[in-house]
Chains A and B, each alone.
Chain A
């Protein structure tokens, strides 16, 4: 705690007022999820529901096929996270510790990939998925089929399996691992794969947790791409998309509380994961800011 300056009461005032503004929407979300038919959308506004009835949660389960949405969300999120962790650790090791021709060029290329904004690749990536060879009835030139890869959960996973940011993060961390340790393993006759697997990988635990968490939360919350892919095949919806689309086929005044119930359910897993590991997440954001 810094002691310079003599107006901590002002600091408390600012931080608490701001804190209320941060928490209020979440509080309103939880409270509205308990509001019954005559309670929501009524003037004057009341924050607290009359009772903690769970009807909206029951409704959310029956309207939404929550188990299916949840399953899709878990499959996509876990696949992407595991894949990003492995590919980042592999590429990061090569860029940090191995000497080879083209290392500087490839590293600069990886940095450049982070500057390409995702929206620019949205249209072409969609068309590539649609014309993916030998998928969804396409021939080997990617023609003729019905939807290509866009009819499979793979469409939600493949475009996110590698992360330039992840490689960068791993490389920065691994570069500080002592060379002596790797040399010693080499003298003992270990090949590069064994060195990576048995010596380097166990040491990357802290940065792996950070990267895993950032990827997990980002993928769990991903919206635009999933909305696009699942627009022709609703069986591919994940939690955020399924809950959002609930609004289009229910009476709006009745829907919001049910949507809120669904959102509480879908936010809880991420919130728990975040609160347990928040130290690592915070560090990752700071690392990305101070590169």
Chain B
């Protein structure tokens, strides 16, 4: 309709059309200007700065005293006598793996169950509540519940189990924090998985029912395979999130203790930088973690693309 009018116009006066395009281009860059300026100052510049810092030796704030250090920072950070690889990087992976495993297992179960109940909206909002709360609320409430006189030990005592020092015992501290991370991220996963479940055509289930399959069979041979894209997305984004999250750990344990038991890579970076002013070492740690996360992101893109080729 109107686009036809536009086309007639271009045929008649091509020169004016070129002018119009140029004007549109200028307008486009004006519309994009705030975003582009922002990304230059708060993304490209800090990213370059992060790389430079990782290869330099610098304390304090005077840029004039910055010295090139080659790969010395990485040598320090990755040396096996230090604490960064073990326990900190190991903790980071355990924390991310553990919370993703728990959250995914829980959210698949819950999403699958919610899908067959009444009041689905209500249930989804209920599971989503922790996502709305600040990490300070989540961390402190769980810290309180984990205390010797807290709710969880209260329940354990009722059941005849002795109190556990969830956050003070070095062997329980990391699993305890991991559970909270999983608890907090289950709601987002449930939402995405429910959307994935809704996209599975009802007729598959009907056909399976005619063939006499039970719920368990249907879950394994219809739901799980068809949910794979949504599931993979949840797994990978939450894993990436888990690798870099440390707010919960600051709130719950203060310093990553007891004795580094809950210290993770991003938190160690934070402490090295802002407690000790060791910009170089801290930036090298950030870079190591970034490379790990980048590898996982690329893996995700590769899997997504391969799947795209399969289906098309």
B positions within 8 Å CB-CB of A: 1-3, 5-6, 21, 24-25, 27-29, 31-32, 34-36, 38-39, 41-43, 45-47, 49-50, 53, 61-63, 106, 109-110, 112-118, 120, 123-130, 132-138, 140-142, 144-145, 147-151, 153-155, 157-158, 183, 186-188, 191-192, 195, 202, 205-206, 208-209, 214-215, 218, 230, 233-234, 237, 240, 244, 246-247, 250-251, 266, 269-270, 273-274, 279, 282-283, 286-287, 289-290, 293-294, 297
Known: A2-B115, A127-B61. 19 other contacts (CB 8 A): A2-B205, A8-B117, A21-B183, A22-B183, A22-B186, A25-B138, A28-B144, A42-B149, A99-B21, A100-B24, A106-B36, A117-B289, A122-B270, A123-B50, A162-B38, A162-B42, A192-B24, A217-B132, A256-B144
Contact assessment for B205 and A260 in the assembled complex, using a CB-CB cutoff below 8 Å: no
Contact flag A32-B144 (CB < 8 Å), given A115-B297, A123-B53, A267-B134: yes
Collect the chain B residues with CB atoms within 8 Å of residue A41's CB: 147, 149
B140 touches A263 (CB 8 A): yes
User: What are some 24 contacts across the A-B interface (CB < 8 A)?
Assistant: A22-B186, A24-B151, A26-B133, A29-B141, A43-B148, A44-B154, A90-B32, A91-B31, A91-B32, A91-B34, A93-B31, A100-B29, A106-B32, A109-B39, A113-B43, A117-B293, A119-B244, A122-B270, A127-B61, A220-B134, A267-B132, A267-B133, A275-B125, A289-B192
User: B218's contact among A3, A4, A11, by CB below 8 Å, is which?
Assistant: A4
CA distance A243 to B214 in the complex (A): 52
The 7 closest A-B pairs by CB, nearest first: A45-B154, A5-B215, A124-B46, A124-B49, A289-B192, A100-B25, A11-B113
Which residues of chain B are within 8 angstroms of A91 by Cβ–Cβ distance?
Answer: 31-32, 34-35
Query: Assuming the A-B contacts A8-B117, A11-B117, are A18 and B106 also in contact, with contact meaning beta carbons closer than 8 angstroms in the complex?
Result: yes
B-chain residues with CB within 8 Å of residue A275 when the two chains form the complex: 125
| Chain B CB within 8 A of A82 CB | no
Interface of A is mostly: helix
Overall SS of chain B's interface: helix
Taken together as a complex, chains A and B put the C-alpha atoms of A280 and B289 apart, in Å, by 34
Q: How far is the CA of A14 from the CA of B106 in the complex (A)?
A: 10
**How far is B231's CA from A232's CA once the two chains are assembled, in angstroms?**
43
A192 contacts B297, CB within 8 Å?
A: no
CB of A4 within 8 A of CB of B206, answer yes
In the docked arrangement, what's the CA distance between A115 and B237, Å? 10
Within residues 109 to 126 of chain A, which ones have a CB less than 8 A from any CB in chain B? 109-110, 113, 115-126
Contacts of A26 in B (CB 8 A): 129, 133, 141
| B295 → chain A closest CB, angstroms | 12
